[in-house]
Chains A and B, each alone.
Chain A
Amino acid sequence: MGRNYSDDAIAQLNFGRGQVLRGDAFLILTKAMLQSGVGYLGGYPGAPVSGLYDVMEDAYHPVLESLGVVVNASANEASAAAMLAASVNNPIRGAINMKVVGTNVAADGLAHLSASGVKGGVMVVVGEDYGMDSTAVAERSLPYAFKSGLVCIDPVGDPATLALMVEEGFNISEYSHAPVLYMLRTRTGNLTGSLTCKDNRAPVISPRHPVEAMASDINFFPLPPYAFEQERLKFTERLDRAREYILKERLNRLVPGRKPVGIITHGLIYNTTCRALHLLGEAELSGNGTCAILALNVIHPLAPDEIAGFLRDKEQVLVVEEGSPNLLEEQVRAIAQQEGLSTRIYGKDILPHYGEYTPQVLVPGLGRFLAEKVYSVPEEEEALGRVKKRSVAMAGHLKKATSVAAPLPIRSPQFCAGCPERPVFSMLKLVERDRGRPYYAADSGCYAMGSLPPFYCDDSYTGMGMGLAAAAVASRVSQQPVVAFMGDGTFWHSGMATSVANAVYNRQDAVLVIFENGYTAMTGQQENPSSGVNLRGEEISSDIVKTLHSMGVKHVEVVDPYDVKSTLRAYKKAVESSEEGPRVLVARGECALERGRQQRAEDHKRLSKGKPVAWERLGVDVALCREDRSCVRPNGCPALTLDTNPSPVREDPVTTITAACTGCRLCGEMSHALALCPSFYGVKVTTNPRPWTRLWHGLNHALIHGLFRVEV
């Protein structure tokens, strides 16, 4: 499920020395892990690293199982972090993945793990997403490395470096005994390139080569008094050894420059910096040019010798560090001060404190640095002129581009055609008409799109599994009913404890809608305990309704979300219920994307055997549509869209339904519920109909034709 890698793509993970793998960064990273002899993998899906989870899943049977790699689909990021405990006293390498906000869920585990330290190399791949391409919060994971004494890798964005840093990451973790955070940025994760492979290494401890008993050592038990010694190890020995390794293996990249001017940068920002310098006429496409560049692949710890060495022969150095807090810049300044260097150091005084460092930021930013701090003497007038001109050229260009026409409409994400979550929001909009707007507590998952147009069900959004808990005060102080949303994935992730147990315990007056679509759908239909199977394909019998009952929820009702009328009735009943504590509606409907995929495969099979296959779709009689779009506003389905008006006397476009329609009937249901119009119709088509179906249709059609001369 999820993003399915082709068999050919996955087979590349078995490639040996010298073979060239082509694929995305997730395949490349997984390959590098196998080359490093990784023993176990785990994680919780979240953009931009959900691809890693998908590779892990798709590769389990064909590659990982036979190599002896243990794979767990972790229940949440904390479970994933806890897995790493295996490496504390045992020489087994492990890697887990999670999105940046997941580190906050995993924080407790990571804190304990970093106290103990590890024997086997340990890597936490974190989806760093400072540009918020797929994350609601802009935050760096670097501060975790600081406070927990982790090694933090932020690789330069090319396939070879990505792979090398995985391998070196395990090495440095083992050498220093510190766990490693490996940042995979959105634009690095979604990169497609090629990698020259090495042979895979089977893990030393595995189900194929099990140990008699796990090694154990009380000295690494993270509790006082042992923890006092661990704290010393963490901040002195382990980080020192890491520094030693960084220098020894030259993990950071140094590009020489023609002038005594330097730039210190990190990870993907190095790629953008090189291109910005190139565009300013200061460097070749390789980054070689006026300024020397120190591109850090390891951003924690810094090796003071390396930094001081770089600073020593420079007059000016700019630290190009994306995001806040600017921990790299402050360390560079501290190192310069300790070493008594007079190099002028710049950073956030020239570049912005926040936001992704895109070329739009770095071209003018680096231009300003060069123009104001570097080229200031008359003999460099030509260079100065060029840099000044080019650094403002982009702004001029952008201004021109925006001045041609009024801003065009945006395209926000929306529920897929046939999504079982949409009807619930449509239903809520229906209720709002008579009863006013409730307090809506959103949560993480597809249904968070209910906060976007056309629904705007969005009063709070606090983090995964916390929606209902976030409305704890609203439930007590507001006269509005409180309605919270939660998906099945989120329920099993943390919602059942954080929100449901909390609500039961505190007798919170609220309605909780649990969307049970069977998958962790937002990140690509990964399995969760509601799917009935796990990542390995083994059957699971977790049940949300039973869980709710046993947790003490008295009012639980399962509804079919496509049946708007019954859902509405159940919702009203839940709101009006005199039952203390939360009332839960479980809206059960399988993810439409996944259902569609399975349906297509199944239909294909049946058709080839000549068996009956029926499909349904809705349509609009555009000749009857009177263009008021009242059907679009409480619906927003991508298949429900506009078309040119066929009437020569009407101007505005009509509504129509495209072939993307899955036949969920919401349009018709809403048309009925809101008494909209007679334009909607449903069509049911059967291929290879059974004889009696054929006869029934044939008879009706013949009678209609005979009586009215109309061929239906």
Chain B
Amino acid sequence: MAEAGPKIKRVYIVAVGGQGSAVLADWLFNAAQQAGYTAQTVGLPGLSQRGGSTSYYMEVLLGMEPDRPDADDVVFCHHPVPGEVDIILAQEFLELGRALQRGFASPSTAVIASTHRVYSLVEKVPASGGVAGDEDIRRLVAELTGHFTGFDALALARKNGLEEVAVNAILLGAVSASEVLPIGEGVYREAIRRTGVAVEANLSAFDLGCKHVTRKETSDDGVTPRRRDDCIQDLSARLPARRRRGFISLATSEVAEYDPRVQDTLVEACYLLTDYQDLAYAAGFLGAVKEIYSADSKDQGYELSRLFAAGLASLMSYEDVIQVARFKTSQRRFAGIRENMGIQEEQAYGVTDYFSPEVDEVLSVLPSALYRPRAALLRWLGWGGAVLRYRSPTTSLPGFLLLRLMTGMRRWRRRSQRYRREAEMWRYYQEAVAEFVRLDYDLGCLTARSAQMVKGYGAIRRRHVEALRLFLEEMLRPLTDREMAVGTGGFPLTLRVGRQACGLILGGEGGLERAQGLVAGVLRDLHDEKGYKAALRRLSTTTVATQ
């Protein structure tokens, strides 16, 4: 809009509160001043320490010495103006997206951003979904900005053993290297020194940012996919020696019969289930997948088989107390904790686990014959739903021992009451997928994916399992029935309503009721073709959160 752009450089910094962005703004201001420019920064720290959004806006007067008498005449603006910002510096990717949606960028804006995500609370609350898609933010970048330099500064910091706040100095380095401001590298360094906050760490972070941009690494590092054979080797190495050969043969010869697009999932699932139980268990899984696979089609890219394999493997690797105890006492787990927490050899450390299984969850690993009388007794005592709250000192011998005793039950798992229940459920799931795919391919996929609905432990898991059953029996089934009766071919309505219902069910508390309400409302209208068409029209104009 303005022709006087070259006289003032306008820099907008957007960030997440409490992540050190005030220091970034300080460095930039000090660097501009030390480089001899008149500058002004306006901060909106707001509730910055409380994790809200925060922003800083800086104007730098170029082409005018600060001591020239008319330098004072320039009136700085305290607000960034939509479409009138030269540089957007985003410390986090969602904040960039939000700044772009508020129109601050134009095609002449240079954007320097870290692409890592700090999830906002509203993204974390729904039981599923809710997270802003990177694709949306990337589309905003593509359509609304000119020069984009984006990379995961957080990953870069971590890779180099720096703390999270190093993201700020890395970004400053990127600003320096991309030469968006007429300020020399040395001046930025000096600004870091003068500000006096973690100088050494920040200087090395600054170098990282500089180098990253100079090497033209302006986009994320691509991850080269590993070869499947390597993957199988790696996975087999994690299994006990006596199972390795069997797994390799299962994962190579048996899986080879499938389309390449399904193979990765199958290999991973076979490993998962071999590790979970044994080879026979994995072979049983493959047998079930084969049935669905035979109904699948190449034209659809074997999406159904992939979804079903993932769904079934996840149901078959249900977390009973055996599995939990097994993981909790595994070597892999402790190595992971030591690595994540940065625990050194010379430090002493202890782990306390928070367990709260229901009594029934523990009892149900018993064989049915042993389980039934005990469960009946508990019910009679009124302790059917009792919860065993236990803080396990897992790194001490007694704590470890108790958990290890549980893992011993693994060899009898397939006789357990829990197994019977679970097996019944996944057989039901398999039948439903087979049934719905006969009606419509996409419907089959939706059913296959619905296994992801099963989440949580104990009572929460029961609710989710029940939701899955209700979704299939009282939502998908009546919808398909009605759509076949009054529809005009295919299942566009069922698919749309089904996806919305699925999204609602996973959207958090009360979601199931909302989904039931939605479906009931739609079903009421499906008495004839006219009502059907009206419902279809209405649904295509409403946007409800879906998966």
Contacts and interface: CB of A to CB of B under 8 A. Distances in A.
A397 B102 CA distance: 10
A394 B106 CA distance: 11
A309 B3 CA distance: 33
Nearest to B122: A409
Interface in A527-553: none
B7 to A, nearest CB: 6
Contacts of B329: 708, 710
A194 B33 contact: yes
Nearest to B95: A411
A608 interface: no
B349 A684 contact: yes
B350 interface: yes
Contacts of B352: 668, 681-684
B377 to A, nearest CB: 21
A687 interface: yes
Contacts of B95: 411
B43 A192 contact: yes
A414 interface: yes
A360 B82 contact: yes
A624 interface: yes
Interface string B73-101: 11111110111100000000011011011
A295 B107 CA distance: 34
Given A653-B131, A671-B356, A133 B2 contact: no
B222 to A, nearest CB: 17
B70 interface: yes
Contacts of B163: 659
A674 to B, nearest CB: 8
Interface string B1-28: 1111001100000001110000001100
Given A286-B70, A633-B509, A678 B456 contact: no
Contact of A712 (B4, B265, B334): B334
A632 interface: yes
B7 A285 contact: yes
Contacts of B164: 658-660
B536 to A, nearest CB: 22
B136 interface: yes
Interface string B456-480: 1111110010000000000000000
Contact of A626 (B47, B79, B455): B455
B75 A668 contact: no
Contacts of A286: 70, 73-75
A191 B132 CA distance: 32
B272 to A, nearest CB: 7
Interface string B113-128: 0000011111111111
B125 A268 contact: no
A628 interface: yes
A279 interface: yes
A159 B38 CA distance: 12
A642 B121 contact: no
A678 B4 contact: no
A194 B29 CA distance: 11
Looking at A410, A619, A660, the one whose CB has the most chain B CB atoms below 10 A away is: A410
A160 B75 CA distance: 12
Nearest to B47: A413
B49 interface: yes
Contact of B349 (A8, A187, A648, A683): A683
Contacts of A710: 329-331, 334, 400
A275 B460 contact: no
A704 interface: yes
Interface residues of A, number: 122
Interface string A672-693: 1011111011111111010001
A516 B329 CA distance: 40
Contacts of A281: 2-3
B501 interface: no
Contact of B265 (A271, A627, A648): A648
Interface in B27-57: 29-30, 33, 39-47, 49-53
Given A401-B102, A619-B337, A272 B347 contact: no
Nearest to B310: A649
B409 interface: no
A642 B272 contact: no
A386 B6 CA distance: 20
Contacts of B79: 187, 272, 275, 358-359
A408 B94 contact: yes
A589 B245 CA distance: 57
Nearest to B8: A285
Contacts of A630: 127, 456, 460
B428 interface: no
Contact of B121 (A47, A453, A682): A453
Interface in A305-363: 358-360, 363
A91 interface: no
B357 interface: yes
Given A275-B75, A409-B123, A700-B396, 16 more contacts: A47-B46, A159-B40, A192-B43, A272-B77, A285-B7, A393-B83, A394-B1, A398-B82, A411-B95, A648-B310, A649-B313, A659-B164, A672-B356, A675-B459, A680-B354, A684-B349
Closest 4 CB pairs of A and B: A413-B50, A648-B268, A628-B456, A413-B52
28 contacts: A157-B76, A158-B40, A191-B40, A191-B43, A192-B40, A193-B39, A285-B73, A397-B103, A405-B137, A405-B140, A408-B94, A409-B123, A411-B122, A412-B120, A413-B47, A413-B52, A414-B52, A453-B121, A629-B124, A638-B18, A642-B131, A649-B265, A649-B269, A650-B314, A668-B352, A675-B389, A680-B354, A712-B394
Interface of B: 1-4, 7-8, 16-18, 25-26, 29-30, 33, 39-47, 49-53, 70, 72-79, 81-84, 94-95, 97-98, 100-103, 105-106, 118-132, 136-137, 139-140, 143-144, 163-164, 196, 264-265, 268-269, 272, 309-311, 313-314, 317, 319, 324, 327-331, 333-335, 337, 340-341, 343-344, 346-358, 387, 389, 391, 394-397, 400, 404, 449, 452, 454-461, 464, 506, 508-509, 543
Interface of A: 6, 8, 22, 24, 47, 133-134, 157-160, 186-188, 190-194, 268, 270-272, 274-275, 278-279, 281, 284-288, 358-360, 363, 390, 393-394, 397-398, 400-402, 404-416, 446, 449, 452-454, 524, 593, 617, 619, 621, 623-624, 626-630, 632-633, 636, 638, 640-642, 647-653, 658-660, 668, 671-672, 674-678, 680-687, 689, 693-694, 697, 700-701, 703-704, 707-712
